[in-house]
Structure 1
Amino acid sequence: MTAHGAFHWNELMTRDAAKAKDFYGKSLGWTFDDMPMGPDMTYTIIRSNGEMVGGMMQIGGPAFEGVPDHWMSYIAVDDVDKRIEKLKAGGGRVMREPWVAEGVGRIAIVADSNGAAQGWMTPADGVS
């Protein structure tokens, strides 16, 4: 499991997944594995030299209006629920309450005391 406090996962949120795949494939040599996630979503695993290094998802619709393409980082924490209390005490805020992503872990989207967004996650057992 990823050590507490270490970056665990990075995810590209993009409006044009095909263009991003072309760019990163040509510039960094990345390869991509698409995983259907229901009728309206595909999640893409990003690989470098065969190793998983991140993910990608296409964004759009009203929920993402005005949100630019961006990379989202996730930091591994020992207990996301307990750490959120410390986050709040330190002046941070919860942007999305914790939820369980099956086989991935328990995740919350938070902002630090300066407003920088990030994900905090307690990885599922065996996920590193």
Structure 2
Amino acid sequence: MASSPLKVWWHELNTWEPEQARHFYRVTLGWDFEPTTLPDGTRYWLAHKDGRAVGGIFQLTEPDFEGIPSHWMTYLAVEDIVDAQSRAELAGGEIIRPAFRLPGVGRLSVVGDTAGAIIGLIEPEEPRPPVH
């Protein structure tokens, strides 16, 4: 078990309306967006402030995300995602999305706590400073 606190690694807006979201965060926070495509062909926008990555926007699509409202997801860095999932279940939580590899990023998972709140976990491929 790691002795240091988990680091916030990434903030991601999962939304049905990425154009409206980009406009909102551009005006509200001064973010710029760089469009990209994930390895599976999914559209994604990297958010930058003053040239520094601050998060991203993921477009929700049907049927995979049917019924899920737009929401922010925070990813916490873990050293071993399989171990973190096991500990989440041992603590009474559940694995919402089992670990999967996103090339160039790392292994990601989504777990739920005993009250139903969800959090993203990431075992990063490469070390980099966490977002603040």
TM-score (normalised: structure 2):
0.87
Aligned length: 126
- Tell me if the contact between 2:77 and 2:123 (Cα under 8 Å) persists in the aligned partners: yes
- Residues 1:67 and 2:81 are matched in the alignment: no
User: How far does residue 38 in structure 1 lie from its aligned partner after superposition?
Assistant: 6.4
**Is 1:116 matched up with 2:125?**
no
Alpha-carbon separation, structure 2, partners of 1:37 and 1:80: 21
* Pair 1:43-2:48 in alignment: no
1:27 aligns with 2:50: no
Q: Deviations over 1:32-80 (max 9, x none)?
A: 0000236953111001111001010111212222211110110101111
CA offsets per residue over residues 2-59 of structure 1, 9 Å max, x none?
x751211010011111111111101110000000236953111001111001010111
Structure 1, 21-30 or 55-64: larger mean CA deviation: 55-64
Give the match's secondary structure for 2:95: strand
Q: Give the TM-score, by structure 1 length.
A: 0.90
Aligned to 1:78: 79
- Aligned counterparts of 1:44 and 1:113: Cα–Cα separation in 2: 32
| 1:64-98 superposed Cα distances (whole Å, 9 cap, x missing partner) | 22211110110101111111111111111101111
Task: Mark the CA change 1:12 to 1:64 in structure 2 (over 3 Å): closer, same or farther.
Answer: same
Could you say if the C-alpha distance between residues 124 and 38 of structure 1 is closer, same or farther in structure 2, counting changes exceeding 3 Å?
closer
- 2:131 is equivalent to residue 91 of structure 1: no
Instruction: Using the aligned pairs only, state the percent identity.
Output: 33
SS at match of 1:64: coil
Gaps of 5+ in 2: none
Q: How does 1:4-15 map to 2 (within 5 A)?
A: 5-15=6-16
* Residues 75/58 of structure 1: CA separation in 2 closer, same or farther (3 Å cut): same
Matched AA of 2:12: E
